[in-house]
Amino acid sequence: MKDFEHLLEKAVADGVVIGAVVCAKGNVNYSNAFGNRAIRPKAEPMTQDTVFVLASMTKLMTSIAVLQLVERGIVAMDDDIAPLLPVLARQPILTGFKENGTPITKDRKGPITLRHLLTHSVGGSYEFSSGDISQWKKIQGTLGKPGTTVDEVFGHPLLYEPGESWSYGSASDWAGKVVEKLSGLSLEEYMKRHIWAPLGLENITFWPDTNPDMAKRLCSMSIRDTRSGKAVQSRKLIPMTPGAREAFGGQGAYATMGDYTEILNSLLTDDERLLKRETAATMFQPQLSGGPQKALDEAFSNPQWAVGYYPPGAYNWCLGGLLVEGKTEASWRKPGTMLWGGAINSAWFIDRATGVCGVFGSNLLPSADPQIEVLMTGFEEEIYKKAAKERPKTHL
């Protein structure tokens, strides 16, 4: 790992990043911390117990929670769960705007299912990635305004009939509310009982402010200075869900990279502590075809919006994240690899064919920073090189 370590140490010295934590498990076991988690009012070294904002890396845990409920027979993937989400269910489909700016909408006709939510084909989007949603929220006077609940933040029209296209957005946040409705538990309590506790994890939460030990280990937020191009510490932590009064299953959790890697490793090794093998297998199956597949292909024809390295190739979306469905220019990734990232420039991957999983953790904005992408790619390539040298004892 010397080449990668030199790359990241130089990045810290050059101000590309203030600090980072990386972890890998499976046929390669590696973890390391670089730089600092804070540089003012005094320097605090980055350590393995540093707590990071997970942002959209939260989505994988919410997918696991949903699949656990399906596994127990509480709900089916294709049941109409609209009655559980009344605010989402009453949203019309936004088809455009009149010349005077009045929105043009039509009623939704089909069901809303968990499959739609986990594959981002329900019709929702983020305001920052949809001009139509931004325009609608501007008309409503809510553009850029934080909300305290999923209903408040994402209670806006759909862009298409569920199942007819694909758009990355708030679907996992709605899925988290389904978990709460069907389990009778808050999302925090559900995950604590059914995801974190089975793996012995104590460094993941939606509410770090209520845990003094975790709060003091939070990584500071850094931003890319537009003048110098260097990473500088933000004056304060920039929350993904400011003012939230409930857990957001698509973006609201915090964790150490080590604890998060244990979740990845459970899925990698099929240890059945989170999901039965047959259920886990479904998580890695491609879900999109037709219109949704076409929309995803278009989105990843220019993937500069997405955190991570997604060169040209064959992609799909599965029940846990982006799926490498065939060959890509990242030739080391095997088909069946599942991966995704979070807005603060962190990313994870699980490659069950190679037998490795890993996560790159940083806390830097803006999202999809090209300089961080180089470091992420360097980390991933080094893990695969090491996996190739160390003959795996078993094949998954």
Over the stretch 135-166, which tens digit does the pLDDT of each residue have?
989 888 888 888 899 999 999 999 999 999 99
Tell me, yes or no, whether 357 and 227 share the same domain.
Answer: yes
Could you give phi then psi for residue 74, rounded to 5 degrees? Answer: -75, -30
394 assigned to some structural domain: no
Residue 168 a catalytic site member: yes
- Write b or e for each residue in 26-60: b if 16 or more Cβ atoms lie within 10 A of its Cβ, otherwise e: bbbebebbbbbbbbeeeebebeebbbbbbbbbbbb
Each residue's pLDDT tens digit, 341-371: 999 999 999 999 999 999 999 999 999 999 9
Q: Name the maximum alpha-carbon separation found in the chain.
A: 66
| Alpha carbon distance 53, 220 (integer Å) | 10
Cβ atoms 257, 359 nearer than 8 A = yes
CATH of the domain at 354: 3.40.710.10
Tell me, yes or no, whether 179 and 197 share the same domain.
Answer: no
Last-in-domain residue among 134, 157, 183: 183
Strand order in the sheet with 30-38: 44-45, 30-38, 19-26, 356-361, 346-351, 338-342, 322-328, 313-317
80 assigned to some structural domain: yes
Please write down the HEC assignment for all residues of 258-284. Answer: HHHHHHHHHHHHCCCCCCCHHHHHHHC
Tell me, yes or no, whether 178 and 191 share the same domain.
Answer: no
Each residue's pLDDT tens digit, 230-261: 999 998 777 778 889 999 999 999 999 999 99
Residue 59 a catalytic site member: yes
Cβ atoms 357, 268 nearer than 8 A = yes
Tell me, yes or no, whether 191 and 177 share the same domain.
Answer: no
The whole-number average pLDDT for the span 295-302 is: 97
The whole-number average pLDDT for the span 102-111 is: 95
Annotated active-site residue in 126, 160, 168, 260: 168
Say whether pLDDT at 392 is over 80: no
pTM flag (> 0.85): yes
40 assigned to some structural domain: yes
Tell me, yes or no, whether 146 and 240 share the same domain.
Answer: no
Last-in-domain residue among 183, 200, 230: 183
Given this model, what pLDDT does residue 396 score? Answer: 42
Tell me, yes or no, whether 25 and 163 share the same domain.
Answer: no
Structural domains counted in the chain? 2
396 assigned to some structural domain: no
- Write b or e for each residue in 161-173: b if 16 or more Cβ atoms lie within 10 A of its Cβ, otherwise e: bbbbbbbbbbbbb
| Alpha carbon distance 187, 207 (integer Å) | 11
Annotated active-site residue in 59, 126, 165, 222: 59
The whole-number average pLDDT for the span 171-180 is: 98
The whole-number average pLDDT for the span 39-61 is: 96
Given this model, what pLDDT does residue 391 score? Answer: 58
pLDDT class for 280, splitting at 50, 70, 90?
A: very high
Tell me, yes or no, whether 263 and 210 share the same domain.
Answer: yes
Last-in-domain residue among 148, 183, 218: 183
Tell me, yes or no, whether 228 and 338 share the same domain.
Answer: yes
Domain boundaries, position 367: 2-58+186-389
The whole-number average pLDDT for the span 366-394 is: 89
Percent of the chain with pLDDT over 70: 98
221 assigned to some structural domain: yes
395 assigned to some structural domain: no
Annotated active-site residue in 56, 63, 222, 346: 56
335 assigned to some structural domain: yes
The whole-number average pLDDT for the span 66-80 is: 98
Tell me, yes or no, whether 216 and 271 share the same domain.
Answer: yes
Tell me, yes or no, whether 229 and 135 share the same domain.
Answer: no
pLDDT class for 390, splitting at 50, 70, 90?
A: confident
For the chain, the 3-state helix, strand and coil shares in percent, each to the nearest 5, are: 35, 20, 45
Q: Tell me the pLDDT of the chain averaged across its residues.
A: 95
Given this model, what pLDDT does residue 239 score? Answer: 78
Tell me, yes or no, whether 298 and 224 share the same domain.
Answer: yes
Residue 254 a catalytic site member: no
Tell me, yes or no, whether 216 and 168 share the same domain.
Answer: no
Burial (CB count <10 Å: 0-12, 13-18, 19+), residue 357 = buried
